[in-house]
Chains A and B, each alone.
Chain A
């Protein structure tokens, strides 16, 4: 497809379960970002990949959060032992350029995660 694709669109899990969220970036995009958007708030940065390398994970809220992009394309955000505070929309964005660039980030529709 032409845009960033995220799946599933909605995910409901019980507290304590593990979840995995998938992001298919725009083909050829080197940079990939994950953001967390709480209800009524702006997105907050979680982590950044340049190709398969995770160059920044400073925004991950705890060691229960783990992200990977093993072949430099599809990325997965995994949350272990989910807590209610993990309920949010998780947005993935990709960008073609690296370095200081005015190339914008292109966002997917997000995954709405609800923890019961």
Chain B
């Protein structure tokens, strides 16, 4: 079974600084997708960034980028120029092959942004 581990329950960053959230996963599949979702206190899960396992190039979305290390099964999220609105719970998630492509989530990292 696939597992996703986020080893940092909480992180904090100063506004305008850079922070990196860690995620590791375990799978025997060769083809899969990885995601970072953001969940503000209002609860709606919002997609931040996604990475296809077959792509070597790390995904980037504006201030958000990932460091995808397939051999190490590591998928970290870097947030540059942190803003107060980035404060939220961040979840790393995995989906692989199979019949339904359900998401397997980590336990989350609570990010606080200090002004």
Chain A interface residues toward B at CB < 8 A:
31, 33, 35, 40-45, 48, 50, 55-56, 59, 89, 91, 93, 95, 99-102, 104-110, 112
Q: Are B100 and A48 within 8 A (Cβ)? A: yes
Chain B interface residues toward A at CB < 8 A:
4, 31, 33, 35, 37, 42-47, 50, 52, 91, 93, 97, 99-108
Q: Which of A41, A48, A95, A104 has the most CB of B within 10 A?
A: A104
Min CB–CB distance B72 → chain A (angstroms): 21
Q: Are B99 and A89 within 8 A (Cβ)? A: no
| A33-B44 CB under 8 A given contacts A42-B108, A102-B50 | no
Residues of A within 8 A of B107 (CB): 40-42
Q: Are A45 and B103 within 8 A (Cβ)? A: yes
- Which listed residue, A59, A91, A100, A106, touches B101 by the CB 8 Å rule? A100
> Which A residue sits closest to B32, measured CB to CB?
A100
- Which listed residue, B4, B44, B101, touches A101 by the CB 8 Å rule? B101
Q: How many A-B residue pairs have CB under 8 A?
A: 64
Residues of A within 8 A of B45 (CB): 43, 91, 93, 107
- Which listed residue, B43, B50, B103, B105, touches A109 by the CB 8 Å rule? B43
Residues of B within 8 A of A107 (CB): 37, 44-46
| A104-B47 CB under 8 A given contacts A42-B105, A109-B42 | yes
Residues of A within 8 A of B52 (CB): 102
Q: Are B100 and A89 within 8 A (Cβ)? A: no
Min CB–CB distance B103 → chain A (angstroms): 6
| A104-B35 CB under 8 A given contacts A42-B91, A43-B45, A109-B44 | yes
Residues of A within 8 A of B100 (CB): 31, 33, 48, 50, 55-56
Residues of B within 8 A of A33 (CB): 100, 102-103
- Which listed residue, B33, B37, B43, touches A110 by the CB 8 Å rule? B43
A110 to B31, CA, bound (A): 30
> What are the nearest 9 A-B pairs in CB distance?
A42-B105, A107-B45, A48-B100, A45-B102, A56-B100, A104-B47, A109-B44, A110-B43, A42-B107
